[in-house]
Amino acid sequence: MKQSHGLFAVFALAACSGPTSMKPPPRHDARVPERIRVVSYNVNFGLAGERGEVDAVVPLDPDILLIQESNDAWRDAFVAGLGTKLPEHRFTPPPDMPAGGMGVMSRWPITSVEELPPPQGGLFFAWRVVIDAPGGAIQVLALHLRPPMSDGGSWVVGYFSTRGDREREAAVHAEALDHSLPTIVCGDFNEESDGGAVKLFVRRGFGDALAQFAPRTRTWHWDVGPTTLKFQLDHLLYDSRFSAVAAGVAEAGRSDHFPIWVDLERITR
């Protein structure tokens, strides 16, 4: 979410700092065949192509990377910086709104990418990505939900009036999931963990990785005069066929969002 200096000014009291972000464990753990590291990052379309945002992801060494607010310049930058380790990639530029692009990069074959159009109340499309990971196919639902802006352009009104829109978006996109596949849901939800979209997945049995490992660490920040607003707007959720080993927020890059990551292991029965 990329906003103006007036955004959330009325909520300045919410600008509190979380604890220092947890660093990812060494990648030698990834030799465990059942372990997958997923990174999600809203890179900010206004910074398109900046090497610093790629450098923020490189130390995380993801197996799967989901990118929001992508465009052609971001595609070129990430493929140049990570294409050797993540040779499989798909990018779709923003169709109408500059912040509406998506990207995915993977260590393993991407077998399909299904674009899910935004339902009523939504602004950006979602993706259902199927990846041929070790141990069998998995699916990732990549989301960029509606920002808290009213139809009239007010962020203050929209903070309260758009909560139901994000839950409805999540519900519609969830219907596209193949319930036979282990599932990860991630991206820029534009709401904190008590929002309707996050709760919808939690009610359906999904675990919330950041709530589990970094509940007070903020993923989004914006300067409003002398105050920096901070919220946890990005999330990584996983269904009962995974177990989260670790998760955190990498406080790096110049985007208004930070990269978030989770290490998941398959649960074998």
Over residues 215-245, the pLDDT tens digits come to 999 999 988 788 888 999 999 999 999 999 9
> Averaged over 102-120, what is the pLDDT?
97
Q: Are 37 and 65 a contacting pair, CB within 8 Å?
A: no
List the chain domain ranges.
9-17+36-266
pLDDT at position 11 is 39
Nearest to 155 by CA among 45, 9, 44: 9
Q: How confident is the model at residue 152 (pLDDT cuts 50, 70, 90)?
A: low
9-17+36-266 folds as Deoxyribonuclease I; Chain A (3.60.10)
Residues 2, 139: Cα–Cα separation, whole Å: 28
Which of 71-75, 206-210, 229-233 has the lowest average pLDDT? 229-233
- Within 8 A by CB and 6+ apart from 243, the residues are 264, 265, 266, 267
pTM as predicted:
0.89
The answer, yes or no, to whether residue 53 has pLDDT greater than 60, is: yes
The answer, yes or no, to whether residue 4 has pLDDT greater than 50, is: no
> Averaged over 252-264, what is the pLDDT?
97
pLDDT at position 223 is 84
The answer, yes or no, to whether residue 7 has pLDDT greater than 50, is: no
* Pairwise pLDDT comparison (162 vs 5), residue with the higher score: 162
Q: How confident is the model at residue 14 (pLDDT cuts 50, 70, 90)?
A: very low
φ, ψ (nearest 5 deg) of residue 150: -75, 165
